Structure 1
Amino acid sequence: MDYAKDYENQIMEGAKTGTSVAFIQDANAFREKLLLSSAEISNQIKGLSVNSEQALKVAMQAKLRSQGLGKLVAKAHLEARKKLARAELAQLEDGYMARFNRNSGTENA
């Protein structure tokens, strides 16, 4: 955009010094093309920025979901380990109780 403005200033200076009308018209047409392409590129950049922001938002949501699922899996593993530990402890207690209670398991069939 700034380049197009500088180019316009050069055209005006050239017009003051007696540059041909055809050259000035060509230069002005080139300046117009620069301005149009600059506007198109600006719109494309805005579109890419919006797409980039949306992609970042989706990625953050996926990351948070993944972290949440990871926490749920870790919690499930912890509960499973606790359940296994309680079962092992209950088995040990049953074994000790069987040893201390002399009537346990000795009844006549």
Structure 2
Amino acid sequence: ISKETRALVLDRNGFTCQMCGASAGETHPNDPAGRKVRLHISHIIDKSNGGADTPENLRALCSLCNEGSQNVSAMRPDLRQLLVLIRRANRADQIAALKWLKQKYPSEPGT
């Protein structure tokens, strides 16, 4: 995968893991060692299954998600599905999600 394609995919994905949402350089929320997020370029459809090295078939994944993603294609939840998950979560997890969103998007309009 060329440097240009890597840069395009990282920029398109907002320098954010497309599975867990962790951003490059932040402390990974799921890493017990507290390491910073490192992003990798991963195939959506694995090359062994006929996937290509095209931007449409590539996504940014953090190290932790990339380790467990071989030949796995996680579907991103739509807004309705996401809200259902948040509503089902306990209050502490809902507040933690809210804090994370406020930290990730501090200057979004309407917040």
- Is TM (by shorter chain) over 0.5? no
Give TM class, smaller chain.
under 0.3
Q: TM-score, normalised by structure 1?
A: 0.20
Q: TM-score, normalised by structure 2?
A: 0.20
User: Which structure's relative contact order is higher, taking Cα pairs within 8 Å and 6+ residues apart?
Assistant: 2
| CA radius of gyration, larger in | 1
Higher strand share: 2
Higher helix share: 1
